[in-house]
């Protein structure tokens, strides 16, 4: 009960946030934080459920952004359509990339996603007719406006856009936290904990790895769409390897294998750059240092500090049982 009350209070607090922070600058940070939370949580699925590190998540973010922007610019589709099409398209691309990439694991998966990241950025830079290359796409339309009780609400304003982002954040959090409660959910965890054992009871690990990867990349695509229609200008620089590394840093510093971890990591790494802006490039030195320290000394990240006192029980056996019920073909 207490947990639910806390959750409700947190959500209420977040909903009231823009009212408290009425400077456009703060509202801008809130929206950026929301987009980063979506990205980090989606990368957290790959790190947490697959136990792999993707160095190409920025590329999927970029695919979503470019797909959504181009659908609006070239086909004049409204935002609602381009948002969903971009999300599905990115997930589909993730699925296609997953077919080869998920045959690999560990170092090899990281290197393959690094290669994919390079290919996507090179394609964006070189398909000048479509993407305008390094100059970037400008003039991306805002999601428009609607009338509510006689007042016109435009998404060009920051507060409505914050709520739009918030809705996506909440849907993504709901989906992710319930991933293991869905019909095939436990199969994910079983696959991560012990792929051999999982496959011995009829859970096809590849199928679940593919599914998790496609879901994760689709969510990254939706973040891309949100970003494109907020910034109204996108260029390849926003989606390059440093972005992928930045996202991975969020997940790891926050705490992998949890949902709270990437959320905390994303909020931290959105706020820190604003606080440390005066230090210039020194902040990136700090992020590199933080990443090294966290990986070596606190592999569970910030979340690990709080949950240390709680006893973590090994849930693998029950999850395997549960997976066996659903996973049998």
Partner 1 sequence: MIEFIPQLIANGIVLGSIYVLVALGLTMVFGIVDVVNFAHGEFYMLGAFVAFLVVDHLGVPYLPAVLVTGVGTAVFGFATEKILIRPLRLRNPHPINYVLVTVGLSTFLLNGVNVLFGPDLRKIPSPFMKQILHFSNVYLTVQRLLVFLVAVALVSLLAYFVKYTALGSQMRATAQNFQAARIVGVNTDRVFFLTFMIGAALAGVAGALVGAMFVTEPTMGIHIIVKAFIVVIVGGMGSISGSIVAGMGLALVETLAGAFMPAEFLDIIGFSLMIIVLLTKPTGIFGTKGGASA
Nearer to partner 1, 27 or 54 (CB): 54
> Whole-angstrom Cα distance, residue 52 to residue 129?
35
Phi/psi for 311 (5° steps) reads: -80, 125
State how far the Cα of 139 lies from the Cα of 76, in Å rounded to an integer: 12
Stretch of residues binding partner 1 (CB under 8 A), selected from 66-74, 189-197, 204-212, 283-291: 283-291
Q: Is 83 within 8 Å of 164 (Cβ atoms)? A: no
107 is a contact residue toward partner 1 (CB under 8 A): yes
DSSP H helical ranges for 21-149: 24-45, 57-75, 79-101, 107-126, 128-131
CA angle 60, 92, 46 (to 5 degrees): 55
What's the min distance (Å) between Cβ of 110 and partner 1?
5
Q: Is residue 7 a contact point for partner 1 (CB under 8 A)? A: no
CB neighbour list of residue 160: distance below 8 Å, 6 or more residues apart: 153, 154
Residue 129 near partner 1 by CB under 8 A: no
Indicate which single residue of 26, 28, 29, 51 sits in contact with partner 1 (rule: CB under 8 A): 51
- Give the whole-angstrom CA distance, residue 252 versus residue 266: 10
269 binds partner 1 (CB under 8 A): no
Among 289, 308, 321, 325, binds partner 1 (CB under 8 A): 289
Query: Which among 184, 231, 219, 269 is positioned nearest to 54, based on CA atoms?
Result: 219
Q: Answer whether 327's CB lies under 8 Å from 203's CB.
A: yes
Q: Which of 13, 106, 144, 317 binds partner 1 (CB under 8 A)?
A: 106
Which of 177, 180, 184 is closest to 205 using CA atoms? 184
Binding mask of the shown chain, residues 188 to 227, with x at each position contacting partner 1 by CB under 8 A: ----------------------------------------
Q: Judged by CB under 8 A, which of 8, 288, 315, 321 binds partner 1?
A: 288
* Closest separation in Å from C-beta 117 to partner 1: 9
Mask of contacts with partner 1, 54-93, x by CB under 8 A? Answer: -x--------------------------------------
Q: Under 8 Å CB-to-CB from 171, ≥6 apart: which residues?
A: none
Please tell me whether residue 123 binds partner 1 under the rule CB under 8 A.
Answer: yes
Residues 225-264 that bind partner 1 (CB under 8 A): 241, 245, 248-249, 252
Strand, coil or helix: what is 232?
Answer: coil
Region near partner 1 per CB under 8 A, out of 8-16, 33-41, 276-284, 305-313: 276-284
Interface with partner 1, residue 287, by CB under 8 A: yes
Which pair of structure tokens corresponds to residue 321? 């049982």
Q: Which of 19, 20, 148, 296 binds partner 1 (CB under 8 A)?
A: 296
Phi then psi dihedrals of residue 244, to 5 deg:
-60, -40
The residues that touch partner 1, with contacts defined as CB under 8 A, are 47, 51-53, 55, 100-101, 103-108, 110-112, 114-116, 118-119, 122-123, 125-126, 241, 245, 248-249, 252, 280-282, 284-285, 287-292, 295-296, 299
């Amino acid at each position: 009960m207490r947990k639910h009350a806390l959750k409700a209070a947190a959500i209420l607090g977040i909903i009231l946030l823009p009212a408290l922070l009425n400077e456009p600058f703060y509202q801008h940070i809130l929206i950026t934080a929301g987009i980063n939370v979506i990205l980090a949580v989606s990368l957290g699925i790959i790190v947490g459920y697959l136990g792999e590190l993707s160095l190409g998540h920025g590329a999927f973010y970029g695919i979503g952004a470019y797909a959504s922007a181009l659908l609006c610019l070239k086909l004049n589709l409204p935002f609602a359509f381009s948002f969903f099409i971009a999300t599905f398209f990115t997930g589909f691309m993730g699925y296609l990339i997953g077919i080869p990439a998920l045959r690999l694991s560990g170092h090899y998966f990281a290197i393959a996603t690094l290669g994919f990241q390079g290919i996507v950025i090179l394609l964006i830079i070189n398909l000048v007719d479509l993407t305008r290359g390094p100059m970037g796409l400008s003039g991306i339309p805002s999601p428009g406006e609607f009338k509510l009780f006689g007042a016109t609400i435009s998404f060009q304003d920051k507060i409505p856009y914050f709520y739009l982002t918030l809705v996506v954040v909440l849907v993504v959090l709901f989906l992710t936290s319930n991933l293991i409660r869905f019909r095939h959910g436990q199969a994910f965890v079983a696959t991560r904990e012990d792929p051999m054992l999982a496959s011995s009871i009829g859970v096809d690990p590849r199928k679940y790895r593919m599914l998790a990867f496609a879901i994760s990349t689709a969510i990254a695509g939706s973040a891309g769409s949100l970003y494109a229609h907020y910034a109204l200008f996108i260029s390849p620089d926003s989606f390059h390897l440093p972005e992928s590394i930045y996202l991975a840093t969020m997940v790891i510093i926050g705490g992998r294998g949890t949902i709270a971890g990437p959320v905390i990591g994303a909020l931290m790494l959105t706020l820190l750059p604003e606080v440390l802006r005066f230090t210039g490039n020194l902040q990136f030195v700090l992020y590199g240092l933080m990443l090294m320290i966290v990986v070596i000394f606190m592999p569970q990240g910030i979340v690990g500090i709080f949950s240390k006192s709680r006893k973590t029980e090994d849930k693998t056996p029950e999850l395997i049982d549960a997976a066996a019920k659903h996973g049998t073909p």
